[in-house]
């Protein structure tokens, strides 16, 4: 892994600006990865018409990869529309599963591209996907309401 990405992951895992309580939120969901013991609670605040992610935060505990991927996911997706977020989520999952490799496609991940090499570390894949799967589920539930 390139050093700049390592630093980014370390920074977010040790000192995330998004690891906090959210006073007002639209939805809340717990994600759990029993393989590693990672557990996160994601809270999201959507705009009134539910089309834009206005704020997001998390609490919980787990390994550096799970904590950093949650934090960087939040940083990447705050301010995005729900539609944009869904596209970024599926691109990220595609990157980790090595189904999406085009640089052009991966550009939309912004800093979350830091986790590209996790796809070569099978033991860490579930840690890197936890927050993203949890959020994907939340946004899909949002649609069905
Ligand atoms: Zn983990």
Domain map (residue ranges) of the chain: 2-143
**Helix, strand, or coil here: 48?**
coil
Residue 145's pLDDT band, with cuts at 50, 70 and 90, is low
- Using only C-alpha atoms, the chain has a radius of gyration, in whole angstroms, of 14
CATH class of 2-143: alpha beta
Give exposure, 51-62, as e/b (b: 16+ Cβ within 10 Å): ebbebbbbbbeb
Ligand 1 mean position to 32 CA, how many Å? 10
Cα 120 to ligand 1 centre (Å): 15
> How far, in Å, from the CA of 128 to the mean position of ligand 1?
7
The per-residue pLDDT for 119 is 87
pLDDT in tens, 43-59: 999 999 999 999 999 99
Q: State in Å: Cα 80 to ligand 1 middle.
A: 27
Question: How confident is the model at residue 5, as a pLDDT?
Answer: 74
CA 51–ligand 1 middle distance (angstroms): 31
- pLDDT at site 137: 95
Q: How far is the CA of 127 from the centre of ligand 1 (A)?
A: 4
Q: Per-residue pLDDT for 84 more than 90?
A: yes
Q: How confident is the model at residue 144, as a pLDDT?
A: 63
């Amino acid at each position: 892994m390139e050093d700049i990405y390592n630093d980014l992951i370390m920074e977010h895992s040790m000192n995330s600006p998004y690891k906090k309580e959210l006073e007002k939120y639209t939805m809340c969901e717990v994600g759990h990865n029993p393989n590693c013991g990672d557990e996160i609670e994601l809270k999201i605040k959507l705009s009134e018409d539910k089309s834009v992610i206005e704020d997001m935060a998390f609490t919980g505990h787990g390994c550096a990869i799970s904590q950093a991927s949650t934090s960087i996911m939040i940083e990447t997706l705050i301010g995005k529309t729900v539609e944009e977020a869904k596209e970024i989520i599926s691109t990220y999952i595609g990157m980790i599963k090595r189904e999406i490799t085009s640089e052009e496609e991966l550009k939309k991940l912004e800093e979350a591209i830091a986790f590209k090499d996790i796809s070569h570390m099978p033991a860490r894949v579930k840690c890197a996907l936890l927050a993203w799967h949890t959020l994907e589920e939340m946004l899909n539930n949002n649609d069905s309401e």
